[in-house]
Amino acid sequence: MGQTTAGFDMAEAPMAADRTAGWAYFRQHGDVFEADGIFFLTSAEAVQFAHRRPEIFRSGPAFEALGSPVPLIPLAVDPPDHVRFRKILDPMFAPRVINTMEDELRAQVRVLIDAFAERGECDIVTDLARLYPTQVFLTLFGLPLADRDMFIGWVDALVEGSTAASGTEASPEAVETAMALFGYLQGYIERKRHEPGDDLLSRILAIDGDDAWTDEQILGLCFLFTLAGLDTVTATIGFVMLHLAEHPELRRRLVADQGLVDPTIEEILRLELPAPYTPRVTSEDVEVAGVKIPAGSTVSLCLGTANRDPRRFERPDELVPELADRGHLTFGGGIHRCLGSHLARRELRLVVEEFHTAIPDYELAPGAEPLIVWPSGTHHLVSLPLRFEPRRY
């Protein structure tokens, strides 16, 4: 189907250097509009309308093109089966569980920062943001940290090879990488079945009776975290450090007052979400904001525009910690709200606290241009070089 909204061309959105201008370009076309066969929902009200109706705006069919040989648990599972998985998983990702991991995760980020603190310079993306979330994943699932770099290679190949946004089949390279990852994980599933530990894989394998998981379902959970839980946190670490580098007064306030850490992170999550679109497929005809969407339509929930909706947020395009609102839609909403949101928030807080303990003052390296790849289904900085006074011992 051809473009039906005059003047809209996603590639033309000025997103690479300025998300404020980029999302304004989307929003000017209306709360709901169709372009190139996709219905875009841009207002907070329209997005939440879809979140509240998962039986109409279905997740499973929307993720079939992602290239996974197994269903992504629980994201690609629709009601009524979805509730069975969330009932088991939600308590495993509750804040009280994350609390037990905090000391180890804090120590890990400290080691990463120590590795460059004496250099007087670093690239946040390559030296910290790409490394830390993968280490957290390996820790959570009880896998060896020594496999970090191999795992990062798999994640990079999977994310680059994923073509879910275009609706085409995954590349042969992405399929090959997925199979290598599945082989690796299957080996650890077998090992933990016989030698369980205190980790997520072991706890899921211990479930028996009618609630017991198949190996395929466990692999689907692992694959979901690999695709949706690593590069997203990597991206957000980059965006958090970018904003603090560009706003030295805010950074000084944050260093002096630890109580500003969480609200500052929430505001950056709202403004610079790494996964700003959520795909859905409609199961029946539906009308949203006066626009009729036929059954079987591909729908894009534009969380990025919803997070800047002036009818929902005060000073929507500004970073104002005092106005931080955890009701933003960066982690989605409804039954498919992000399973790992508590963990992601904790990772971000630990990075901010430990980085500013070691390096309280820094600036963008001269000539640095913090850009995201555009157009792209996910937003992340290509590079973020910082300069600071080397730490002396």
The C-alpha angle 21, 43, 229, rounded to 5 degrees, equals 80
Q: What is the pLDDT of residue 67?
A: 57
What pLDDT is stored for residue 172 in this prediction? 77
Highest mean pLDDT out of 141-155, 157-171, 347-361: 347-361
**pLDDT reported for residue 257:** 96
d(CA 324, CA 379): 21
pLDDT score at 346 = 97
Residues 7-17 pLDDT 10s: 899 999 999 99
pLDDT number for residue 176: 85
Percentage of the chain beyond pLDDT 70 is 94
pLDDT given at position 166: 42
The arithmetic mean of pLDDT across residues 128-135, rounded, is 97
pLDDT mean over 229-246: 95
**Does the pLDDT at position 163 exceed 50?**
no
194-204 in b/e burial notation, b at 16+ Cβ within 10 A?
Answer: eeeeebbbbbb
pLDDT value for 3:
38
In the chain, pLDDT over 90 holds for what percent of residues?
A: 80
Q: Rounded to the nearest 5°, which phi and psi values hold at 42? A: -110, -25
Please tell me the predicted confidence (pLDDT) of residue 252: 97
Name the nearest CA neighbour of 222 among 54, 70, 31: 70
How much is the mean pLDDT over the chain? 92
Two structure tokens written together for 355: 């980085």
Confidence (pLDDT) at 1? 35
184 pLDDT more than 90: yes
CATH class assigned to 71-274+312-387: mainly alpha
Give the model's confidence band at 2: pLDDT under 50 very low, under 70 low, under 90 confident, else very high. very low
pLDDT at 212 over 50: yes
d(CA 77, CA 61): 9
- H helices within 336-393, ranges in order? 341-358
Task: Sheet with 363-364: list strands edge to edge.
Answer: 121-123, 385-387, 363-364
pTM: 0.94
Residue 192 has pLDDT above 60, yes or no: yes
Res 151 pLDDT > 50: yes
Lowest mean pLDDT among 57-71, 157-171, 337-351: 157-171
Lowest-pLDDT choice from 80-84, 123-127, 243-247: 80-84
Interatomic CA distance for residues 284 and 138, integer angstroms: 41
| Residue 159, pLDDT score | 72
